[in-house]
Structure 1
Amino acid sequence: MGCARARRAKRATMPTDCAMLLIERRLRALFREQVVAIIRVAEAERALGLARALIAGGFRCVEVTMTVPGALDVIQTLCADAPEDVLIGAGTVTSAAEARRCIEVGAQFLVSPICETDIIRPSREAGVVAIPAGMTPTEIMHAWRLGAHVVKVFPAGAIGGPAFIRAVRGPLPDIPLWVSGAVQPCETQAYLAAGAQLVGLNAGALPNSLIESGDWAGLAAAARAMLDEARHAAKVMSPAS
C-alpha cells in the first residue's frame, strides 16, 4: 500500500489481520530495497527538497528524523505526494506521543534509537513497521521479544562495523537487523555480507554545497550515484541474505 493511500485511511489502529498484512507488505518492500536514505537537516523546507531529490534519484525508502524542525509536516507532505512504491518513515522517535503523531500523518515505518514498548505497540496496531534499537545481543533479543519487526543496530560504525554484525548473527540468525550510524555507501556490501537486512545511509553524505544551494537536480544526480553504489552491493549479496 502506498503512503498516500495509508494516509487517507486516517486510522491509528485497524483489525489485527489487516495490520499484519500491511506490515508484511511494507517489510517485503524494505527488504527488497535494502537501502534507506536518512534525512537529518536543520530546516523543514530543505528536508522536503532533499527527500524529493532522493526519490527522484531512485531511493524508494526514505526516513525523516524527528530532529528535523517541522518533521511531521514534512512526512505528511511526502506521504501525500510520493509515488505509490515509495515508503516514507519517521526516525528518532523517542516517545509514545511522537509515535502516535507519526502514525497519524502517515509514516509507514518508525525507527527509534531506543527500545520502548509504548513505541512498538501502537506501530504494530496501526500496521506500521516498528524498528527500535539494540546494541548488545541482549538488547537486540529484548527488542525482538517486545515485538520489533526489525532491530536497528546503532551506531553500527562505532561498535565494530560489519565484524560486529557478523558476530551477532551467529547466535541470533533469525532477527532482521538494520545498521546505521556512520555507514558509508562503499560499506554496504560488507554489512550485507555480514548479515544485515537493511542499511541506512545518511543523506548528509551528499555534497553539502548542493544541499545549501538547493540544487535539487544536482542532488538527484548525486543521490542516484550513491544509490547505484549501494544497489550494486545489494545485488551482489542478495542471494546470501
Structure 2
Amino acid sequence: KKDAEEEKVRVAKAAAERESAVGEKHPSLTTGKGRTYKKVVIKGVDEVGVKITHEYGTARIKFEQLPEEFQTRFGYDASRAQEFLSREKDLEAARARASIAALRANAGLPSSSPSRPGSTKPRTTKPRTTKPKTTRPETTKPIGAAPSAPSNNVEIQPLMTRIAELEQVVEKLRPEAEALDDKASEIEDDAFKGIGGAGGDPKVSQKKLTEAKSWRTKAEAVYSKINTARSEIRQLKRKIKLIERSSKDK
C-alpha cells in the first residue's frame, strides 16, 4: 500500500512538472546521440519524451535520448512509454485507414481490393456510386449440363452442340476477365499507397486511377461476353425443355 501511495505521488509530481515545463526556454539541448538543438522551447511533455521548437524547426526527443535529469524530473517510465507508443501507432494506423477509405469512396472505388472467389479473405462491400459496377458471372457453380435428349431428336442435337461451344467460351474467358480485374485492383491500391504512410506521397495518384479504370473497362468487356454466353445457354436449355415436353405430348 505504501508503494502504491508513493507511486501515486510520483506520478502526480511528474504530471505537474510536465505541465509547468511548457514554454520553458533552454539555450541548447544535447541528446544522447550527440545532436545539439539551440534556442529550445518546450512545447509539451508526454510519456514518450519532450516536444520542442528550435532554431530550425520542431522535434520530439524521446526520454531515452535526454539527460537523466529530464528523465527524473518528468517521471520517465520505459514500460509506460512503450505502451503509449503502441497506442499512438494504432491510432495513427486507424486514422490512415479511415483516410484511405474516404479517399477511395470519393473516387468511386471499393474501400479495399475485392476478394477473389474462394479466397479466405472477407468480401468488401462497394459503396454506391454512379460508376457502373463490374458484373462478374457466378464462378463457384459450373454451368450445368444440357438436358439429356433422345438420340434421334434432330432438333435438340445442334442446340446441345451450341451449348457445349458456349461453355468452352465461358471457361476460356473467365480467367482472362479475373486477371484484368485483379490488375485493376492492384493499380488502384498503388494509387493510394502513400496515404498515411511515413515518408510516402500524401496525394492520390490520379494517373494510376486512370490506368486502373482502363483495366477495369477491359475486364467489364470480357465479363459482358461471359454474361452474354451464359444468357444464350439458359435460352437454349429452355428451348430444349420445350422440345422434350412437346415430344412427350405427341
TM-score by length of 1: 0.25
Structure possessing the higher relative contact order (Cα contacts under 8 Å, 6 or more residues apart): 1
Q: Could you say which structure has the larger radius of gyration?
A: 2
TM-score (norm 2): 0.25
